[in-house]
Amino acid sequence: MIAIYKREYRAYFQNMVGSFFLAFLIGFVGVYFVTYNLNYGYNFFAYALSSGLLMMILAVPILTMRSFSEERKSKTDQLLLTSPLKLHAVVVGKYLAMISILAMACLVFCLCPLIIKLQGDAHLKIDYTAILVFFLIGCVYIAVGMFISALTESQIIAAIGTMAALLLIYFWRHLVSLLPSGAGANVVMLLVLLVLVCLIIEAYMQTWAVTLTIGGVGTVALVVAYFAKSASFESLLSTKLANFDIPSILSNISDSYVLTLSSLVLLISLIVIFNFLTLQVMQKRRWS
Amino acid sequence: MIEVKDLVKKYGNHVALDHLNFTIEKGKVYGLLGANGAGKSTTMNIITGYIGATSGTVLVEGKDVLLEPEETKKRIGYLPEIPPLYTEMTVEEYLSFVMEIKRIAKEIQKKHIEELLDRVKLQEVRQRLIRNLSKGYRQRVGLAQALVGWPAIVILDEPTVGLDPQQIIEIRQLIRDLAKEHTVILSSHILAEVQEVCDHILIIHKGKLIASESTTQMMARVASAQTVELIIEGTEAETAAVLATMPAIDGYQLALEEDGFCRVTIESDYTAGFRRALFKAFAQADLAILQMNAVSNSLEDVFLELMNQPQNAAETAQVKEDVQ
């Protein structure tokens, strides 16, 4: 794992991608910092970071697009997969290299609250919490990007796919609020979700008996629950899905100085899940 | 050393390997021969653990590739068809990286790099970026990568493709040297190469093993399958008349070249004695033989030859179509 980490880390600076990522992110967050904090004199760095999160949508795909797709295209994955290395060491090694680069940007951001303090009042606790959350959100974005890169051989598709996924995350709150709130509509949406889950199960297990059982039991349970207590289905999806709104974790800190434990758990779980999914994609490809 | 049992690999509906069975013994050079798409690379990728088989097992020194991948991968060095090179690294950096992922002890890494660079003759480019190296050098870096840790088994997928004749000779020499201490499996679609380097030849066709013989046996088979080409100074009718008097001809092709020249191609397993008889027959008819060539058959012809054996008779027609 250390060997992979070292190689990846070095490669990011040899091919300029790492430097470009750092320059881009630090540059734009710097602009927000200068505008909000220095020119307007607003003494929360968290506010600049919260706006800077938008820039991650452009910066992260550049960092993650090559992680697996390039290996696959240039066939260097053959070296890694035929070496005695464990597959998870490859995935984690690459992931750690990418988040180290993000961490470097965050280290630079750590200076900003101190600069504010030099000018007068600063809110160090809030600002440093915001930097930590900014880093964790970045880690989630990078995990998503890595997963998408593992799906394709083309770096361009990986970059565009990641950008689309990150935009979806960014506008999540607004998209979720568009969902219909009626109980009937929610049951229909849940049924559609159930079908999707069943299709994924089928793709993995390839036994229709299991898939149909799960699908059948799920459908019956949903319909029974709907007729028993239809009121509980009202706005069910939009409320539940709103919990997965990631950008608001950061804006909650900058706007209302709140960070909940559940949101930290959400971020860390997403990091673990997308690392795991990347591993699964790599495994699966060897068998198809 | 390596046992391949009932290996099947399907890509969707396409069957790449169809119940492949063979055994690799220690200390020999094996040639995996087959046309493009025959399943050579797939076989190698499965043995090295890059991809999984649909069914069947591969045992490396008694250990299953699937159950103990780390143990088996440690014993195999693999040079895939396209050398897996990180082009933004220098040769030296790349080899140290490979050493790290192959878990070569830190203390001996320095010495080992020198051994490898000497062995594959890379000393003069050791500080250069792989990106800037020529195809021949890249192939050698790939080879050095496969030799890291001196694995017991070295698997080379078409190691000489795209190299110039001088480099081909060098790589072949290197492979022969390796064979003194390692078991080598190489794939190729060039018969002459396999003949020169290998002790044993495995021929794969459409995912099936159709022959597994020592090189000497195989060559005897090839030598007996020859084509004789003639250019005769005479008309078509005259030439045909002479050929009609030859008792041992199954069939031939005859084409009129320029004024008064005929090109004749006779296919069968004929020896020097047959060529003497041809010469005499044409001399008697007072037709000059301007040119006579005995052409050794190509790999495809060997396939046909192998396919023509009774047990494979059913497939022969299909193969003939493919070859044409």
Token couple for A266: 């959400």
Domain end position, chosen among B162, B193, B222? B222
Task: Give me Rg for the CA atoms of chain B.
Answer: 24
Q: Which residues of A touch B48 (CB under 8 A)?
A: 82
Distance from CA of B234 to the nearest CA of A (A): 58
Q: How many CB atoms neighbour CB B168 within 10 A? A: 19
Q: Using an 8 Å CB-CB cutoff, list chain A residues near B129.
A: none
Digit-coded pLDDT (tens) for B238-278: 888 888 887 777 678 888 877 778 888 887 655 667 788 88
What pLDDT was estimated at residue B312? 47
Tokens of B94: 């790349």
Mutation for testing the A interface, residue in B72, B73, B86 having most A CBs under 10 Å:
B86
Q: What are phi and psi of A31, to 5 degrees?
A: -60, -45
| HEC secondary structure over chain A | CHHHHHHHHHHHHHCCHHHHHHHHHHHHHHHHHHHHHHHCCCCCHHHHHHHHHHHHHHHHHHHHCHHHHHHHHCCCHHHHHCCCCCHHHHHHHHHHHHHHHHHHHHHHHCHHHHHHHHHCCCCHHHHHHHHHHHHHHHHHHHHHHHHHHHHCCCHHHHHHHHHHHHHHHHCHHHHHHCCCCCHHHHHHHHHHHHHHHHHHHHHHHCCHHHHHHHHHHHHHHHHHHHHHCHHHHCCHHHHHHHCCCCHHHHHHHHHHCCCCHHHHHHHHHHHHHHHHHHHHHHHHHHCC
> Average model confidence (pLDDT) for chain A?
91
Say what percent of chain B tops pLDDT 90: 29
What order do you get walking across the sheet with B55-60 strand by strand?
Answer: B14-24, B2-11, B55-60, B63-64
What kind and span of H or E run contains B166? helix B165-178
Mark whether A282 and A146 lie in a shared domain. Answer: yes
Residue B314 lies in a domain: no
End-of-domain residue from the set B222, B242, B274: B222
Count the domains in chain B: 2
Give yes or no: residues B277 and B165 share one domain: no
pLDDT in tens, A112-141: 999 999 988 888 999 999 999 999 999 999
CA dist B153 and A111 (Å) reads 55
Q: Are residues B179 and B268 in the same domain?
A: no
Query: Is the separation of the CB atoms in B304 and B292 below 8 Å?
Result: no
Residues A59 and A27 in one domain: yes
Q: Rounded CA gap, B92 and A197, in Å?
A: 48
In the prediction, which pLDDT does B33 show?
A: 86
Of the candidates A74, A75, A82, the beta carbon closest to that of B48 is on A82
Q: Give a yes or no: residue A100 inside a domain.
A: yes
| Shared domain check, A139 and A173 | yes
User: Is the domain of B257 the same as that of B216?
Assistant: no
- State which of A234, A258, A273 marks the end of a domain: A234
Smallest CA–CA distance from A74 into chain B, residue: B84
Q: How far is A106 from chain B (nearest CA, A)?
A: 27
Q: Which residues pair with B187 in a beta bridge?
A: B32, B157
Rounded-to-integer distance, Cα A89 and Cα A96, Å: 10
Size of interface A-B (CB pairs under 8 A): 64
pLDDT band at B79 (very low <50, low <70, confident <90, very high): very high
Please tell me if residue B237 touches chain A, with a CB cutoff of 8 Å.
no
Same domain, B215 and B232: no
> Are both A28 and A90 inside the same structural domain?
yes
Helix axes A208-228, A183-205, angle to 10 degrees: 170
Nearest CA in chain B to A77: B84
pLDDT of the residue at B324: 45
**pLDDT tens-digit map of B164-198:** 888 888 888 888 888 888 999 999 877 778 888 88
User: pLDDT tier at A5 (50, 70, 90 boundaries)?
Assistant: very high
CB atoms < 10 A from the CB of B209, how many?
21
Q: How many domains does chain A have?
A: 2
pLDDT (mean) for B57-66? 90
User: Which residues on B lie below 8 Å from A288 (Cβ)?
Assistant: 11
CB distance from B103 to chain A under 8 Å? yes
**A31 Cβ neighbours under 8 A, 6+ residues apart:** none
Residues of B in contact with A83 (CB under 8 A): 73, 98, 101-102
Helices (H), B64-152: 69-74, 91-101, 106-119, 135-147
Supply the CATH number for residue B279's domain.
3.30.70.260
CA distance A28 to A134: 14
Q: Are residues A102 and A53 in the same domain?
A: yes
Q: Judge if B202 and B264 occupy the same domain.
A: no
Whether B211 has its CB under 8 Å from any CB of chain A: the answer is no
Query: What string of DSSP letters covers B141-152?
Result: HHHHHHHTT--S
Q: Does B76 reach chain A within 8 Å, measured CB to CB?
A: yes
Predicted confidence (pLDDT) per residue in A146-181, tens digit: 999 999 999 999 999 999 999 999 999 899 888 888
**Shortest Cα distance from A62 to chain B (angstroms)?**
18
Q: What is the pLDDT of residues A224-269, one digit of tens each?
A: 988 888 888 888 888 888 888 999 999 998 888 889 999 999 999 9
Do B183 and B73 lie in a common domain?
Answer: yes
Strand partners, B291: B231
B79, part of any domain: yes
Q: Are residues A142 and A112 in the same domain?
A: yes
Q: Which two tokens stand for residue A91?
A: 């995935």
Are A248 and A173 spatial neighbours (Cβ–Cβ below 8 Å)? Answer: yes
* Rounded-to-integer distance, Cα B296 and Cα B291, Å: 16
Cβ of B74 within 8 Å of Cβ of A84? The answer is yes
Expressed as residue numbers, the domain containing A194 is 183-234
DSSP per-residue letters across B261-316: EEEEEEEE---HHHHHHHHHHHHHTT-EEEEEEEEEP-HHHHHHHHHTSGGGHHHH
Residue A12 has pLDDT above 70, yes or no: yes
**What CATH number did the domain enclosing B113 receive?**
3.40.50.300
Query: A85 with A116, same domain?
Result: yes
Which 30-49 residues of chain B touch chain A by CB within 8 A? 45, 48-49
Token duo for residue B155: 């698997």
Side-by-side strand order, sheet with B153-157: B76-79, B153-157, B183-188, B29-33, B200-205, B208-214
A7 falls within a domain: yes
Any chain A CB within 8 A of the CB of B101?
A: yes
Shared domain for A101 and A130, answered yes or no, is: yes
Are B186 and B47 in the same domain?
A: yes
Confidence (pLDDT) at B308: 59
DSSP B199: S
Distance CA B145, CA B149 (A): 9
Q: Which residues of B touch A7 (CB under 8 A)?
A: 86, 89, 97
User: Is residue A122 situated within a structural domain?
Assistant: yes
A72 and A140 belong to one structural domain? yes
pLDDT at position B297 is 61
Cα–Cα distance for residue pair A80/A71, rounded to 1 Å: 9
Q: Cite the DSSP H helix spans in B225-256.
A: 236-245
What Cα–Cα distance (Å) separates residue A215 from each residue in A224, A226, A267, B25, B158? 14, 16, 30, 52, 49
Contact B84 A7 (CB under 8 A): no
Mean pLDDT in chain B? 83
- CA A162, CA B315: separation in Å to the nearest integer? 49
> In whole angstroms, what is the distance from residue A196 CA to residue A187 CA?
14
| Chain A residues within an 8 Å CB radius of B49 | 81-82
pLDDT of residue B268: 62
DSSP category for residue B235? -
* Nearest CA distance, B9 vs chain A (angstrom): 9
Instruction: Give the whole-angstrom CA distance, residue A92 versus residue A80.
Output: 13
Across A238-266, b (16+ Cβ under 10 Å) vs e yields beebeeebbbebbbbbbeeeebeeebeeb
B82 found inside a domain: yes
- Whether residue B306 has pLDDT greater than 80: no
* pLDDT reported for residue B316: 44
> Is B307 a domain residue?
no
* pTM of the predicted structure, to 2 decimals: 0.82
Mean per-residue pLDDT, B71-84: 92
Per DSSP, B68 falls in state S
- % pLDDT > 70, chain A: 100
Contact B2, B153 (CB under 8 A): yes
Q: Cα(A173)–Cα(A138) distance, rounded to whole angstroms?
A: 18
Integer-rounded Cα Rg, in Å, for chain A is 22
Domain of B258 in residue numbering reads as: 226-296
In a domain, A240, yes or no: no
Residue B122 in any domain: the answer is: yes
Are the beta carbons of B130 and B90 closer than 8 angstroms? yes
A239 within a domain of the structure (yes/no): no
Residues B216 and B168 in one domain: yes
Q: Are residues B172 and B108 in the same domain?
A: yes
* B30: DSSP letter: E
Which is nearest to B88 in space by CA: B128, B120, B145? B128
Name the band, by pLDDT with cuts 50, 70 and 90, for residue A23.
Answer: very high
A140, two tokens: 């989630």
Helix (H) or strand (E) holding B7: strand B2-11
Q: CB distance B101–A86 less than 8 Å? A: no
Check: CB of residue B30 under 8 Å from CB of residue B69. no
Residues B184 and B93 in one domain: yes
Is B172's Cβ below 8 Å from some Cβ in A? no
- Are residues B231 and B192 part of one domain? no
Evaluate whether residue A35 is within a structural domain: yes
Block residue for tokens 């709907």? A226
Are B132 and B260 in a shared domain?
no
**Is residue B44 domain-resident?**
yes
- Any domain includes A90: yes
Nearest CA in chain A to B73: A84
**Final residue belonging to a domain, choices B179, B200, B222:** B222
Tell me the mean pLDDT in the region A81-109: 94
Q: Is residue A260 part of a domain?
A: yes
